[in-house]
Chains A and B, each alone.
Chain A
Amino acid sequence: MPHDHHDHEHDNHLDPMDARVRALETILTRKGLIDPAAVDAIIDTYAHKVGPQNGAAVVARAWTDPDFADWLRRDATAAIAAMGFTGRQGEHMQAVFNTPDQHNVIVCTLCSCYPWTVLGLPPVWYKSPAYRSRVVLEPRAVLAEFGLELPTDTKVRVWDSTAELRYLVVPMRPEGTEGMGPEALAALVTRESMVGTGLPRVPA
């Protein structure tokens, strides 16, 4: 099973890369081109401030606030910015809503374009040649590897992020969540459900 043990085939490069990046950072710092404190701040931003919790808050609000959902559909960049989520790799956003008829999946076949402002840094699988090559060709086979089986009559739409539009999948609200507030709902919204390789959790 892919979930049990992921063999990081590239770990054999770990030590040389550690030395290489250290050396590069030292050279750049000595030349005054970068400041290690600024690098720390960038790392901290994506560790604590920017991540899939942002996207989950957007989705949960769309589930509970029809006016916001409408705005998100018409102008995702502005609607998402209004929640305080702006910046790099989120300058031009589009929200794509799953329906019973159509399931949406995002990819960047050409590099690793990903909606950073709402999902943070992409996971390894999103950047992997396996995902980028196959999800446009055989998305159902790929989704099955994530444990996601869709009804056979559901269309699968794959959005290839070839330009600077960044996509956020808005999954369908799970059944059995009536009466739940945005915070409790946000806890159900996984990163994979906002890429389209998964569905939200179902409340226990």
Chain B
Amino acid sequence: MNGPHDLGGQMGFGPVAPEQDEPQYHAAWEARAMGVTLACGALGCWPLDEGRFARESLHPAIYYNATYYEIWIRALESLLVKYGLVSAGELASGRGRSRPRAPSATDA
């Protein structure tokens, strides 16, 4: 699909800005997100290809506004719901009031 992920030759994202002595994670949740995503992948319900499709199917405004681990988590949630492992209601109640605001492409 011609999704937000297909980035070769796109313009406007600015300099690459490598970070010196970058830590492995920039927040504690990123480590949990990595581990939870891999643990769920190991359930064997979907192949990695489908995981990639779930990520690139995120709305472009979300995709470009999210860190990569946030992309992973959002895609993981959608797969868990698709395969009936978790319901949308459970995800919503688990998040409580912290539901994310509506994304916009400009609020970087």
Contacts and interface: CB of A to CB of B under 8 A. Distances in A.
Given A13-B67, A42-B35, A125 B90 contact: no
A83 interface: no
Interface in B16-36: 16-20, 22, 24, 26-29, 31-36
A34 B36 contact: yes
B61 interface: no
> Interface size class for chain A?
35 or more
Contact of A11 (B14, B26, B73): B26
B46 interface: no
Given A17-B73, A47-B24, A132-B7, A123 B95 contact: no
B32 A39 contact: yes
Contact of B9 (A2, A35, A133, A192): A133
A22 B6 CA distance: 30
Contact of B8 (A40, A47, A160): A160
B100 A123 contact: no
A31 B18 contact: no
Contact of B70 (A17, A26, A130, A146): A17
A27 B86 contact: yes
> Interface size class for chain B?
35 or more
A84 interface: no
Contacts of A129: 7, 10, 13, 64
Contact of B16 (A24, A112, A125): A125
B92 to A, nearest CB: 10
Contacts of A88: 38
B91 A130 contact: no
Contacts of B100: 13, 16, 20
A82 interface: no
A124 B68 contact: yes
Given A2-B18, A13-B67, A22 B29 contact: yes
9 contacts: A11-B27, A17-B27, A21-B33, A31-B86, A34-B36, A39-B35, A43-B31, A146-B16, A192-B18
